[in-house]
Structure 1
Amino acid sequence: MRRAKITIIGAGNVGATAAHWALSRNLGDIVLLDVMEGIPQGKALDLLQSGPVDGFSRRVIGSNDYRDSVDSDVVIITAGLARKPGMSRDDLLAKNVEIVKSCAEQAASFSPNAVLIVVTNPIDAMVYTAYKVSGFPRQRVIGMAGVLDSARYRTFLAEALGVAPRDVNAMVMGIHGDNMLPLVRLANVAGVPVSDLLDAETIAGIVKRTQHGGAEIVNHLKTGSAFYTPGLAAVEMAEAIITDSKRVMPCAAWLEGEFGISGCFLGVPVVLGTGGVERIVEFPLQDEERAALAESETIVRGQMAATGI
Structure 2
Amino acid sequence: MKIAMVGVGAVGASAAYALMISGLAAEIVLIDVNERKAEGEAMDLMHGAPFVRPVTIRSGAYADCVGARIVVITAGSAQRPGETRLDLVKRNADIFGQMIPQIVAAAPDAILLIVSNPVDILTYVSLKLSGLPASRVIGSGTVLDTARLRALVGQRLSVDPRSVHGYVIGEHGDSEVVVWSRATVAGLPVEDFCHQRGIEYSPALRADISTQVRRAAYEIIARKGATYYAIGLGIRHIVEAILRDENTILTVSTLMTGQFGMQDVCLSLPSIVDLSGVEGVLLPDLSPDELIALQRSATVLREVAASVGL
> Deviation of residue 88 (structure 1)?
1.1
Equivalent residue in structure 1 for 2:179, among 176, 183, 207: 183
> Deviation of residue 56 (structure 1)?
2.0
Mapped to 1, the partners of 2:248 and 2:31 lie a distance apart of: 27
Aligned equivalent of 2:201: 199
1:40 aligns with 2:41: no
% same residue:
35
Q: Is the 8 A contact 2:181 2:286 kept in 1?
A: no
Aligned equivalent of 2:48: 50
Equivalent residue in structure 2 for 1:19, among 12, 16, 19: 16
> Deviation of residue 308 (structure 1)?
2.4
Amino acid at match of 1:14: V
Query: Which ranges in structure 1 are unaligned for 5 or more consecutive residues?
Result: none
Q: Is the 8 A contact 1:140 1:276 kept in 2?
A: yes
Aligned equivalent of 1:289: 290
Q: Is the 8 A contact 2:12 2:74 kept in 1?
A: yes
Question: Per-residue CA shift, 1:132-173, capped at 9, x if unaligned?
Answer: 000001100111121100011111101101111111111100
1:244 aligns with 2:245: yes
- How many equivalent pairs are there? 302
> Deviation of residue 226 (structure 1)?
0.6
Secondary structure of 2:180 counterpart: coil
Mapped to 2, the partners of 1:252 and 1:217 lie a distance apart of: 23
Mapped to 1, the partners of 2:6 and 2:53 lie a distance apart of: 21
Amino acid at match of 2:248: R
Counting only pairs closer than 5 Å after superposition, residues 1-309 of structure 1 correspond to structure 2 as 4-28=1-25, 29-53=27-51, 55-63=52-60, 65-196=61-192, 197=194, 198-200=200-202, 201-221=204-224, 224-309=225-310
When the two chains are superposed, the root-mean-square deviation of aligned CA atoms in Å is 1.2
Amino acid at match of 1:177: G
Mapped to 1, the partners of 2:53 and 2:159 lie a distance apart of: 31
Amino acid at match of 1:259: F
> Deviation of residue 114 (structure 1)?
0.7
Mapped to 2, the partners of 1:128 and 1:270 lie a distance apart of: 17
Question: Per-residue CA shift, 1:220-275, capped at 9, x if unaligned?
Answer: 12xx3211111221221111111111100001110111222111111111111111
> Deviation of residue 101 (structure 1)?
2.3
> Deviation of residue 105 (structure 1)?
1.3
Normalised to the residue count of structure 2, the TM-score between the two structures is 0.94
Q: Is the 8 A contact 2:5 2:28 kept in 1?
A: yes
Query: Which ranges in structure 2 are unaligned for 5 or more consecutive residues?
Result: 195-199
Mapped to 2, the partners of 1:133 and 1:235 lie a distance apart of: 25
Secondary structure of 1:297 counterpart: helix
> Deviation of residue 37 (structure 1)?
2.1
Mapped to 1, the partners of 2:308 and 2:48 lie a distance apart of: 40
Aligned equivalent of 2:197: none
Q: Is the 8 A contact 2:181 2:287 kept in 1?
A: no
Amino acid at match of 2:298: E
Q: Is the 8 A contact 1:77 1:100 kept in 2?
A: no
Q: Is the 8 A contact 1:184 1:195 kept in 2?
A: no
